[in-house]
């Protein structure tokens, strides 16, 4: 089974932006267990810019693109260093891949990305993918990956994943009264059931960003889950237990 797991900034970072080691340790243990059980795992992780915000002593994510790039350059090294240590404790090697929109817009570039991901996975290495905020200029053009939600869909489609799991700080898609919706059989009902979430001060995503990615993924036949990244949910989700919100592929 091929799985793409995406974690949002706030699920693995404290309010200051400093990495939340307890959350990171829990998540890495789950990902390592999935890989050891025979799953092919691609991990899409946000958090580099937030880590840079903390390291540079800033109070919030900057609005200036060049300052965001600076935070990414500082924070990316910090986050990947932590991931390398945590995965190594489980005997798992990692590889880093940083991407922009351009890497998906031209077929040859996209195929090169796919080949790199396939080789890493086949070699037992967990790819850790993130937007290359250091060189990306998408924000100048009004385009972003939405805290990597859209990037995770593009990756899932590219590698022909069986499932895409979006980890956030809530237990799944919530209705207007804050109750978790276990399954969405038809995407047409989503707008009537929920309100778009708000993004945090350290990220650029939100539930609206996730739903855009979900809609595209299910249209491509990919099963999608939204779940709480601060809990041990990956095993239960893939075992069929209700631990988030499930969107079956082609649920349109």
- pLDDT digits over 86-99, tens only? 999 999 999 999 99
Split at pLDDT 50, 70, 90, the class of 198 is very low
Total structural domains in the chain? 1
| Mean pLDDT computed over every residue of the chain | 86
β partners of residue 4: 42, 164
Q: pLDDT, tens digit, for every residue of 220-239?
A: 999 999 999 999 999 999 99
Residue 75 lies in a domain: yes
| Residue % of the chain over a pLDDT of 90 | 54
Buried b (16+ CB within 10 A) or exposed e, 18-36: ebbeebbebbbbbbbbbbe
* Residue found under tokens 């080949």: 115
pLDDT score, position 145: 55
Residue 252 lies in a domain: no
User: Does the pLDDT value for residue 252 go beyond 60?
Assistant: no
| pLDDT greater at residue 131 or residue 113 | 113
pLDDT score, position 9: 87
pLDDT score, position 220: 94
Q: What is the Cα–Cα distance from 36 to 142, expressed in whole angstroms?
A: 40
What is the domain range of residue 186? 2-247
Residue 146 lies in a domain: yes
Residue 239 lies in a domain: yes
Q: What is the bridge-based pairing of β-strands 223-228 and 244-247?
A: antiparallel
User: Does the pLDDT value for residue 39 go beyond 80?
Assistant: yes
Return the CATH number at 144. Answer: 3.40.1160.10
Q: What is the mean pLDDT of residues 141-163?
A: 82
Residue 167 lies in a domain: yes
Q: What is the mean pLDDT of residues 72-79?
A: 89
Q: Cβ distance 241 to 231 under 8 Å?
A: no
Residue 197 lies in a domain: yes
pLDDT score, position 178: 83
Q: pLDDT, tens digit, for every residue of 44-69?
A: 998 888 889 888 998 877 888 889 88
Q: What is the 3-state secondary structure (H, E, C) of the chain?
A: CEEEEEECHHHHECCCCCECHHHHHHHHHHHHHHHHCCCEEEEEECCHHHHHHHHCCCCCCCCCHHHHHHHHHHHHHHHHHHHHHHHHCCCCCEEEEEECCHHHHCHHHHHHHHHHHHHHHHCCCEEEEEECCCCCCHHHHCCCCCCCHHHHHHHHHHCCCCEEEEEECCCCCECCCCCECCECCCHHHHHHHCCCCCCCCCCCCCHHHHHHHHHHHHHCCCEEEEEECCCCCHHHHHCCCCCEEEECCCCC
Laid out side by side, the sheet with 94-99 consists of 94-99, 126-131, 40-45, 2-7, 163-168, 223-228, 244-247
Split at pLDDT 50, 70, 90, the class of 142 is very low
- Residue 244 burial class via C-beta count within 10 angstroms: exposed 0-12, middle 13-18, buried 19 and up: buried
**Which residues are CB-contacts of 142 (< 8 A; sequence separation ≥ 6)?**
none
């Amino acid at each position: 089974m091929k799985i793409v797991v995406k974690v949002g900034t706030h699920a693995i970072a404290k309010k200051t932006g400093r990495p939340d080691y307890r959350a990171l340790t829990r998540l890495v243990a789950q990902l390592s267990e999935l890989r050891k059980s025979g799953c092919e795992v691609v991990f899409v992780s946000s958090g580099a810019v937030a880590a840079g915000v903390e390291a540079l002593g800033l109070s919030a994510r900057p609005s200036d693109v060049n300052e965001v790039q600076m935070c990414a350059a500082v924070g990316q090294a910090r986050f990947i260093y932590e991931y390398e240590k945590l995965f190594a404790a489980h005997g798992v090697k990692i590889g880093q891949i940083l991407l922009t929109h351009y890497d998906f817009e031209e077929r040859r570039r996209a195929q090169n990305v796919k080949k790199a991901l396939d080789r890493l996975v086949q070699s037992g290495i967990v790819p850790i993918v993130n937007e290359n905020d250091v060189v990306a200029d998408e924000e100048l053009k009004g385009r972003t990956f939405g805290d990597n939600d859209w990037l995770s869909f593009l990756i899932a489609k590219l590698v022909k994943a069986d499932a895409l799991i979006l980890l956030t700080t809530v237990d799944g898609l919530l209705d207007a009264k804050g109750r978790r919706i276990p399954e969405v059989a038809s995407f047409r009902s989503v707008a009537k059931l929920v309100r778009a979430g708000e993004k945090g001060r350290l990220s650029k995503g939100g539930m609206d960003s996730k739903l855009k990615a979900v809609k595209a993924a299910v249209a491509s036949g990919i099963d999608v889950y939204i779940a709480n990244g601060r809990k041990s949910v990956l095993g239960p989700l893939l075992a069929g237990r209700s631990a988030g919100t499930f969107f079956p592929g082609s649920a349109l």
